[in-house]
Amino acid sequence: MAAPRVPPWTQVPRQDGRRFVVTGANSGIGFETAKALAARGASVVLAVRDRAKGMGAAARMTGDVEVRDLDVSDLGSVRAFAADLGEVDVLVNNAGILGVPFGLSPDGVELHLATNHLGHFALANLLLPRLSDRVVVVGSLSHRSGVLDLEDLDWQRRGYAPYAAYAQSKLANLLFLAELQRRLTAAGSTRRATGAHPGSSATAITASTGNRLTTWVGSWGHGLVGMPPWRGALPVLYAAAMDVPGNTYLGPHRLREMSGWPVSVGRSRSATDPDLAKALWEVSESLSGVTFPLA
């Protein structure tokens, strides 16, 4: 029997009176997410590391758009951003790096983990007391190959492998999603955590690998078979704007979640391990100095 046809979802409902923060909003999935939300009446904060690029992105959007400085790999920057933000309805944790050479953040944390997970972990917890609706976690298909070694997060024992480090950080994203929702539910909060991944989308995330061949192959491959960024952003927009339960995880509906329209998708066995999620949370609190504020 043929699989049921999934109707395309492209229409973001009106978001008047709602304030969103989108990290990494100057390009790719973050840009398309912020652009669509602003066009539908939302007030959108573009949280970016490069202000000039952020201003350029804002100039290509319509609506109420504000650019603010945020380097999610730097916990000092995260704290300064959160302290000065005010009330917000939705936080979209989108910023990320992929396949970069080994390096440490200003806080001494491996760069993939610092950027893709730890900074967003801290930001979400710092904003929760002033956040009315939800945290959206942007994941990746790569989480399925991720192995989270809590005893070797800085890759000293294993030997550093850029794409394995990326996959580990994306597995950490989904563990954070599940544990955040568990804690919100236990605290009796109406806030929720949702997640989404963009499938294979033609964005510039491979541009910072430091390896010309890897950058070219990644950009060429995604350009050839990947969806345009606006379509890759649709699962993220659905997770941010539609009424879905906490811990919902969305992605494209066909070609093994690489292409298509937003539907609820599965995740790896490791990503649903509650003990691993709790252990990661404890390590993340220790590394960031930020704790869950609603307990």
Minimum mean pLDDT range among 38-42, 180-184, 196-200, 244-248: 196-200
pTM listed for this prediction: 0.92
Q: Does some domain include residue 184?
A: yes
pLDDT tens digits for range 11-68: 999 999 999 999 999 999 999 999 999 999 999 999 999 999 999 999 999 999 999 9
Task: Answer yes or no: 163 catalytic.
Answer: no
Q: Is residue 293 part of a domain?
A: no
In this prediction, residue 1 has a pLDDT band, given cuts at 50, 70 and 90, of: low
Residue 10, domain member (yes or no): no
- What pLDDT, on a 0 to 100 scale, did the predictor assign at position 295? 77
In a domain, 3, yes or no: no
Instruction: Please write the tens of the pLDDT for every residue from 226-265.
Output: 688 999 999 999 999 999 999 999 999 987 878 899 999 9
Inter-residue long-range contacts of 4-10, CB under 8 Å, 24+ positions, other chains counted: 6/253, 6/254, 6/260, 6/261, 6/263, 7/261, 8/261, 9/234, 9/238, 9/261, 9/262, 10/234
Distances (CA, A) of 76 to 34, 105, 106, 107, 289: 24, 11, 9, 9, 11
- 294 occurs within a structural domain: no
Q: Rounded to whole angstroms, how far apart are CA atoms 178 and 245?
A: 12
The answer to whether residue 14 is domain-embedded is no
The pLDDT value recorded for residue 3 is 54
Selecting among 160, 163, 166, 249, the annotated active-site residue is 166
Number of domain units in the chain? 1
DSSP string, 86-140: --EEEEEE-----SPPS-B-TTS-BHHIIIIIIHHHHHHHHHGGGEEEEEEEE--
Enclosing domain of residue 167: 19-288
CATH code for position 86 = 3.40.50.720
- pLDDT value at position 143? 95
